[in-house]
Amino acid sequence: MFQSHIGEFAGLGVSVCWTLSALFFEKAGYKIGSLSVNFIRLLMAIVFLGITTFFTRGLFFPTDASPYQWFWLGLSGFIGFFIGDMLLFKSYLVIGSRTSALIMSLAPMLTAVIGWFFLGEILSAKNIIAIAISIAGIILAISNQKMKLNIPFKGFLLAFGGTGTGSWINPQQERHGTVRSGCCNPNQSFVWFVKLHYFDDRTSSLE
């Protein structure tokens, strides 16, 4: 049974991990501040990812990457993991992790809409209806009976700015072979969008 439903179990496991991490980061933010939490998290991530890549690739740091790759991955990480998550952790202290996580669920829908407008991806009528229903549900959850925002507007902006810690990298990025598939912030996706559709296209036109 487990083998035939490994994707479903993995999805449930990810949901549990995201929920627990939001609660833990909120607790830690109240004690030492959101900025400190973000710095400590990034340092721990470097260590754990380094250990993982050491055993899988024999390298603690990706020293085999070119300066070009370092630049774009570094810019992507700075905007997504540092700025985006700093806004997110701050929103935990203003409106709480529950409401912030609810607003973050907009990330896949925003990514789909951006892909539709800018990357020529196709959204069926069923996809559009599903996105509209999901957005309506989020609006109802964060609004009062008079359809006014029942949370601080500052908290909403912070959560919206940090939205997407659970959004997936656009398939077009994988087709270009720039990054491996995985979890990514829409802010990072924007960096890769600029790279792929401005710098790479411009380079191709010069060849």
Using one digit for the tens of pLDDT, what is the confidence trace for 75-94?
777 877 888 888 889 999 99
What is the average pLDDT score of the chain? 77
Using one digit for the tens of pLDDT, what is the confidence trace for 141-171?
888 767 677 888 888 888 888 875 444 344 3
Cβ(62)–Cβ(53) below 8 Å: yes
Q: What pLDDT does 168 receive?
A: 39
Instruction: Please give the tally of structural domains in the chain.
Output: 1
Q: What pLDDT does 178 receive?
A: 44
Cβ(179)–Cβ(192) below 8 Å: yes
Cβ(90)–Cβ(20) below 8 Å: no
Cβ(163)–Cβ(127) below 8 Å: no
Angle between helices 107-118 and 125-141 (to 10 degrees): 140
Domain, as residue range, for 189: 3-206
Give per-residue burial for 92-113: e unless 16+ CB within 10 Å, then b: bbbbbbebbbbbbbbbbbbbbb
Give, in order, the Cα–Cα distances in Å from 193 to each of 7, 30, 34, 80, 83.
28, 35, 29, 13, 18
Rounded Cα gap, residues 85 and 78, in angstroms? 10
**Regions in the chain scoring below 70 on pLDDT:** 1-2, 145, 147, 164-207
Q: What pLDDT does 201 receive?
A: 52
Q: What pLDDT does 62 receive?
A: 84
Q: What pLDDT does 29 receive?
A: 92
3-class DSSP assignment, residue 184: strand
Q: Is 76 left (phi over 0), alpha (psi -120 to 50) or beta?
A: alpha
